[in-house]
Each structure stands twice: as structure tokens, then as C-alpha cells.
Amino acid sequence: MAILADKDTRLLVQGITGREGLFHTQQMIAYGQQFGLKTVVGGVTPGKGGEWVEGLPVFDTVKDARESTGANATVIFVPARFFADAVYEAIDAGIELIVAITEGVPIADMMRVHQVLSMSESRMVGPNCPGLLTPGQAKIGIMPGYIAQPGNVGLVSRSGTLTYEVMYALTQRGMGQSTCVGIGGDPVRGTGFVDVLQLFEEDPDTDKVVLIGEIGGQDEEKAAQFIREHMTKPVVAFIAGKAAPEGRTMGHAGALIEGGVGTHKSKVEALQSANVKVASHPEEIPDLIASWG
């Protein structure tokens, strides 16, 4: 098993005819082919319905694409100005999983999207995220699949680059991953730490969890509370941004300390109080995972 995406995922690409959409469609197809899987089943670009890209049919609407292909997931590569409408269309079509790679989404747009999501049966990962990867089963987004291997360590992260670094470090130590999820670093997002932690807790094939956070907001503190009250599986964490000055964003729009809230210290202390082992730098994570036995 895995969380969110597996070998049975049937994926659409919204924005498949754009430069980024096309490039990463090729990468996702190639990843699936290694394991004899066909994850990507079609694409959507308004006005280009009836065309074919990489042997995949292109549709004008998500509704048409879902009806023709049986898709249950979509990945969004459209520009930020089209983002909200792309998500609404996926929700209206009944897509279960929406993975939003698009960056630069205005907070006001995302707040409206978040409200609509809350009244639907769809789940969204992102925006401004690398997507997710279930090694050997499904790649949705831009994560480099070749650095991962199947295993029992779940990974959830706000940082794309640190996700890749930790994936590689785990693989080098022979510690495979069940699913790697990049939730994105924007202040308003579809899926948070607690959502993913709950899925990992319920997944029989995930035995240990790695959480990669950063300064800004209170998501890590909420995650610590959830871990303390609900998780039975060991968790190892790393928090980026220790040297960041207050009032300055560091990397992500959500990585901002204001009024003393969301500091590196507060996050580390909250996690440690929940019996989470917190690494001083990413390279320590495999050792801390191994220390759980």
C-alpha cells in the first residue's frame, strides 16, 4: 500500500501542452514505464481537444477527460492566473486527488480555492509544491524518481529541495520510502502536515515518518500536537531556517517569522515535547531513523 497515489492511480495533466507540463509529462510517463505502469492517461488544454501528446489524448475539459479515461487524479501545471479555474474544474469533475505544481498563486485566490475544497470530496496537495512520489508505483509532479526506492519510511515536507536531499540520503542508507509528499511552502495550501501524518499513521506499510518543516506559521506546532495525541509510529524531523532574521521571508512565502510566532526554536521545542527526534541538519536523519530500531 501507499498513501494518496499508487499503481492504480490514473492521472491527468492540466496544462499538458505547455513547456513545463509537457516536459514533466514525459518524465512521469518514463517513470511509470520502468515498472510496466501507465499512470498518465490524458491531458487537458482548453481549445486543444482532439490533439495527441506523447501518445496521450488531449481534452478541452477535465470532465470530458475523466469520462473518457476514468482518471482519479490530476496534476496542474497551468500559469498562476488560470490556477483557481483549473482547480474548480477538477473539483466539479469529481477528481479525488489534485496535485498543484503551480507557483505564485495569490493568497486571495488560494483562500477561495480552499473554501471550495472544504465543501468537496476532492483533496489538493499544493500549490507551489513538487508533488508526490510512491516509489515503484506512481510519480505525480516533479520529484526525481531515480533517487528513491520502495520501503517503509514516509516523508512529508514543506521544502522541495530538502525533500530530494533527504530522499537521497535515506536511499543511500538502504532506507526505502513508502510515499514522499511535498505539501508546499505557501501560507495557504490544500493539504497540511496533520493530514499527511494521519494518512501515514493509518498506512500499514509505513513504519516510520520523516517530517521536514521550516520557520513561519504554526503548522509544525500543530503537527507536534497531533503526533503527541494520535501517532504510534516514530517520527524524525528537521526544521529549516534556524538563522533566518525576523520579518524576512526565507525561500517560501510562508517561511516568515512575525511577532515571534513560527520561530525555529518554538517548532523544535514543540516537536521534541512530542517525543520527536529533531535533526540538527538533514544528513542526521538516517541515523536518527536507525536509532528507533
Return the active site residues. Answer: 252
Rounded Cα distance, 40 and 11, in Å: 5
What is the distance between the alpha carbons of residues 69 and 78, in angstroms, rounded to a whole number? Answer: 21
Contacts of 188 (CB under 8 A, 6+ apart): 107, 110, 111, 114
Closest CA to 124 of 170, 169, 89: 89
* Gap between the Cα atoms of 293 and 238, Å rounded: 19
C-alpha distances (whole Å) from 189 to each of 93, 186, 260, 265, 269 are 21, 6, 22, 23, 24
Question: Which amino acid would we find at residue 240?
Answer: A
CA 33 to chain CA centroid, Å, is 22
Q: What is the CA radius of gyration of the chain?
A: 18
The C-alpha atoms of residue 130 and residue 114 are separated, in whole angstroms, by 19
Sign of the dihedral through C-alpha 95, 133, 291, 220: negative
Distance, CA of 273 to CA of 282 (rounded, Å): 20
